[in-house]
Amino acid sequence: MTDVRRIPTRSEIPAADTWDLTHLFKTEEEYRRAFSELKDAYPKILEFKGRLGESADSLLACLEYHKQLEQIAERLSHYASLRNSEDSSADQNLSRRAELTNLLTKVREADSYIDPEIQAIPDDQFQRFLDDSKLADWKISLSRLRRYKPHTLSEAEERLLTLGAPALRGHSDTFSQLTNVDMKFGVLKTGDGQEVALSQSTYLSFLHNQDRDLRRRAFHQFYQEFEDHKFSLASALSSSIRADVFSARIRNYPSALHASLFGDNIPVAVYDNLIATVRKNLPLLHEYYDLRRELLKIQDIHQFDTFVPLIPEIQASVDFEEAIDLVVQALSPLGAGYVEPLRDGLRSRWVDRYETKGKRSGAFSSSSYGNPPYILMNYRTDVFSDVFTLAHEAGHSMHSWFAQQHQLFQDYSYPIFLAEVASTFNEELLTHYLLERAQDNATRAYLVDRQIEDVRQVLFRQTMFAEFEKQVHEIEEAGGPLTLNVFCEVYRDLLEAYFGPRFSIDGELSIECLRIPHFYSAFYVYKYATGISASIALAARVLKGGIAELGAYLSFLKAGGAKFPIDTLRDAGVDMQSPEPIESAMKLFQNRIIQLRELLTE
């Protein structure tokens, strides 16, 4: 449970192993000049106030000037964020980010009139503007903005909502402070006598441990702390839900769910179809839990038995250059136009490769228009799953890279609904590549089990979360009570449905709903489930298809945010309004269970 490796400082690792941020700013002085440029330039945006409806020329002048400000702000934010992720304890990084946040607040205050003023343009005049060739480059973004007109209030009302937002959303800070600062989980003694701190970050590590008694003790000790704070947490969650419903009602949406889906133009039927299709296939999940209980040789299976790996991780040392080769070879079905820029980017310092003192944990991909899509890693040569992490983040990066190459600034940014498709698609291709070349059953079993767990945790588990969010918001919208007991009863019913009749559900698990951070910013998690379903379907199309299927997928990457996500996916060959993509993922899940049983029997 302990890692005795010494973590190096940033100055101790070669520059070649770090990202090259000179594409953003060559020096700190250049960053400061851009900062000053934005500071001096943003007040001019007020010169357009009151004039946006005068003519297409007036509107265009404002939009183009505002775009210049946005591009500078995006590049500054990108740089400040990446520097801060290098070492969040460095005063210079913290100061840079705080100073920029203050400036951007002033910019947002100055440009806040633009959207309401565009909304106020009479319909016939607005249509003339859309038809004017001068505004051709802005037709997509203007049309999307106009969709919000029925849900936009008066200037005075919008100002009140803006001022009241911190109070309405205070529950998020309460949840964060309570769970990350106030709550203390104590220590656990491992089988070899070591005392290890139990925390939000180490809890999952305990659940991965092969020692079942340790897993059990970690589970009960962890949830005891939530049990001691359950009424406060229930209060915070109910406040969050009431804020969602209030915001939806005051903006004239039929429900909080409709309000959440509106921006991406996602029909509620997509959300409902996801839940219904997963519900229909729950016996497959129950079958998997039966297999897990059998393989772990336990009489009853509990939630703390669902994370421990059934197959030990592949014992292999894969250095970063080898990982690049593996990923590029696995993605070769995407053609030279994809793999060559990816290979060049990964080898020309797109990636900050290794853990250093103060560096942000985990991994991410981050981009800004006209600049490299940088990747943060904490790569370890002895952790084979880090190869999958590299493939995942490369998917995000190439999605951004293609979108930048083919879309205008105002149209390139793709929504979260699409974001996880390109990343999990790459993991699908890597799994397929490695399985085809696996030399032994142990390796095959590891890869199959890994994919099973991805589908279980992303498709099944996130859909259960999505169903909980829908149900508790409907209770509030119907005027029902949102008490601790109500939360626990709703969640307990879902646990019983999703885990199945042969699963032992510990009483404490009913309060798991109080500790899921996404529940405090609702209707987000379903996108993980739809994303993995779409990626599985698209990967199968590309691997089994030809030039047309590949072209459709590359067009999906190039589309960025130029179309609504349902349309973008449909053009790529996947209809998320039908059960078919989710059923395809379920079929893969079922086949992998059969494979795993056969491999381990052999």
Q: Write the pLDDT tens digit of every residue in 122-156.
A: 999 999 999 999 999 999 999 999 999 999 888 77
Q: What is the pLDDT of residue 1?
A: 41
Tally the C-alpha atoms within 13 A of residue 97's C-alpha that lie toward its C-beta.
16
What is the arrangement of strands in the sheet containing 364-366, beginning at the earlier edge strand?
351-352, 374-376, 364-366
pLDDT of residue 4: 43
Calculate Rg over the CA atoms of the chain.
25
Say which amino acid occupies 413. Answer: S
Question: For residues 90 and 84, what is the distance between their CA atoms, to the nearest angstrom?
Answer: 8
Token pair recorded at residue 8:
């190096």
For the residues of 167-229, what is the DSSP string, one character each?
HHTHHHHHHHHIIIII----EEE-TTS-EEE--TTTHHHHHT-S-HHHHHHHHHHHHHHHHHT
Instruction: Specify burial of residue 27 (Cβ count, 10 A radius: 0-12, 13-18, 19+).
Output: exposed
Query: In Å, how far from its chain's centre is CA 276?
Result: 23
Q: Which of 421, 444, 434, 405 is nearest to 542 (CA)?
A: 421
Q: How far is CA 247 from the centre of its chain?
A: 23
Q: At what angle do helices 416-437 and 526-544 cross, to 10 degrees?
A: 50
Fold of 320-445+532-601: Neurolysin; domain 3 (1.10.1370)
Please tell me the predicted confidence (pLDDT) of residue 174. 85
3-state SS assignment for residue 374: strand
In this prediction, residue 57 carries a pLDDT of: 97
201: tokens are 């970050």
Please list the residue range(s) of the chain that carry CATH number 1.10.1370.20.
Answer: 320-445+532-601
Low-confidence stretches of the chain (pLDDT < 50) are 1-4
Q: Which two tokens stand for residue 425?
A: 């698609």
Which of 42, 35, 30 has the alpha carbon at shortest distance from 98?
Answer: 35
pLDDT of residue 193: 86
Q: What pLDDT does 3 receive?
A: 44
Contact status, residue 381 vs residue 318, Cβ threshold 8 Å: yes
Q: Whose CA is closest to 536, among 471, 452, 593, 473?
A: 452
Q: Which two tokens stand for residue 489?
A: 């009863």
Residues written for the chain:
602
CB 81 within 8 A of CB 97: yes
The residues that are catalytic are: 393
Query: What is the per-residue pLDDT for 5?
Result: 55
Does the domain at 10-152 match CATH 1.20.140.70? Answer given as: yes
Give the global pTM.
Answer: 0.92
Name the helix (H) or strand (E) containing 529.
helix 526-544
Q: Residue 130: its pLDDT value, please?
A: 96
The torsion region of residue 469 among left (phi > 0), alpha (psi -120 to 50) and beta comes to alpha
* Range(s) within the chain of domains with CATH label 1.20.140.70: 10-152
